[in-house]
Amino acid sequence: MNLGKDGSYSVEVNELVKSFGSFVAVDHISFQVHRGEVFGFLGPNGAGKSTTIRMLCGLLRPTAGQGHVESLDVMTQSEQIKEIIGYMSQQFSLYDDLTVEENVDFYSGIYKIPSAKAKRRKEWVLEMAGLMERRKSLTRTLATGWKQRLALGCAIIHEPAVLFLDEPTSGVDPISRRQFWDLIYTLSERGVTVFVTTHYMDEAENCHRLALIHHGKLAAMGTPHELKVKTMDRAVLALEGARILEWMDPLENLEPCAEVAVFGNSLHITVDDVERATREIRTFLANRSISDFSLERIEPSLEDVFVSLIREEERAGSIMYHKEAG
């Protein structure tokens, strides 16, 4: 991780709240993001991710609490914040009737970049995004992955200190998503702080640290490894077979099985006692004359962590507050 020399924070949030009438979209959240860090905000749709990012970008005024971006106050200095950040939403905010380089030129003008510097920055953006050969193409003719790269280039044309990416890979194919994350790492290595919201669990593995948000509250925070090893108190068994969906509901009724969730072609079963759960699951399958299956203990995935946390907290009737893992 490429932190500032003094280890200072690029983003600081303390008890931040956003309400819309009686609905609390963001509920007293607190966290810090280091300079040069790729910080992931992970949660399902409607969890409060986009609302938080819009407050930090100066686009939405908080109801209460404190927030600072590069020491600028989100309450009183929203216009100054807009000048030193980059922001990319899942809509890509591009002009389809302009060419690739005309879009870049347009954003250079928006950010009032001097002419000589704007030319250098445009060439850098086109090279970085792999769009040199497409610079004269109309934007509407580009595939989604190329539009994504162009939107990123426009968001960083003015060399922002902090880059906010709100669900930037939604609807993008897996190869383009991987290439996009390579660009994110390049920016991080250059010292840019990257704050990214996502609901893709596999993408979250790419972040230096993660905050898990649900119903507007933070459920847990830490590195991907910390969340899987320290936050997850239970073990996870993976069960594979030809008819796993038929087994899901009955297995949830077995006492040793705390959670059962579909994960690709397998069921992930969260348990407290591995030996007892393994024995009872095998007995369950044997009683149904099922012999073609595999059952093994695996390292929890981030999705296992997230599902387990949310289900436990919903059963308790309220979100539990977790200190940062570590």
Distance between CA 251 and CA 259 in Å, rounded? Answer: 9
Distance between CA 24 and CA 105 in Å, rounded? Answer: 40
Q: Is 21 among the domain residues?
A: yes
What CATH number did the domain enclosing 19 receive?
A: 3.40.50.300
Q: Is 325 among the domain residues?
A: no
Q: What total number of domains does the chain contain?
A: 2
Same domain, 276 and 246: yes
pLDDT at 2: 44
What CATH number did the domain enclosing 262 receive?
A: 3.30.70.100
Same domain, 291 and 165: no
Phi-psi region of 113 (alpha: psi -120 to 50; beta: other; left: phi over 0): beta
| Percent of the chain residues past pLDDT 90, beyond the cut | 61
Same domain, 213 and 67: yes
Q: Is 316 among the domain residues?
A: no
Same domain, 170 and 256: no
Q: Is 53 among the domain residues?
A: yes
Q: For residue 90, how many other CB atoms are within 10 A of its CB? A: 17
Q: How many CA atoms lie within 13 A of 238 on its CB side?
A: 12
Q: What is the pLDDT of residues 161-206, one digit of tens each?
A: 999 998 888 777 888 888 889 989 999 999 999 999 987 788 888 8
Same domain, 288 and 217: no
Confidence band of 321 (pLDDT split at 50, 70, 90): very low
Q: Is 304 among the domain residues?
A: no
**What does each C-alpha distance from 60 to 17, 90, 205 come to in angstroms?**
11, 17, 29
Residue where one domain finishes, among candidates 202, 227, 252? 227
What is the DSSP secondary-structure string of 207-265?
Answer: SSEEEEEETTEEEEEE-HHHIIIII--SEEEEEEETTHHHHHHHHHTSTTEEEEEEETT
Same domain, 222 and 260: no
Same domain, 144 and 292: no
Same domain, 90 and 152: yes
pLDDT at 306: 81
At residue 216, φ and ψ (nearest 5 deg) are 80, 0
Residue 62 predicted with pLDDT over 90: yes
Same domain, 277 and 221: no
Q: Is 322 among the domain residues?
A: no
Are the beta carbons of 141 and 172 closer than 8 angstroms? no
> Strands, E, within the chain: which ranges?
9-20, 23-34, 38-42, 64-69, 72-73, 85-88, 162-166, 193-198, 209-214, 217-222, 235-241, 257-263, 266-271, 293-298
Axis crossing angle, helix 144-155 with helix 100-110, rounded to the nearest 10: 20
Token pair in block for residue 184:
């994110």
Q: Nearest to residue 265, comparing CAs of 238, 235, 288?
A: 238
Give 292's DSSP letter.
S
Residue 36 predicted with pLDDT over 60: yes
pLDDT at 73: 97
pLDDT at 317: 56
Q: Is 2 among the domain residues?
A: no
Are the beta carbons of 14 and 66 closer than 8 angstroms? yes
Residue where one domain finishes, among candidates 181, 205, 227? 227
DSSP-derived pairing of the beta strands 209-214 and 38-42 = parallel
Q: Which residue segment(s) compose the domain that 191 sits in?
A: 9-227
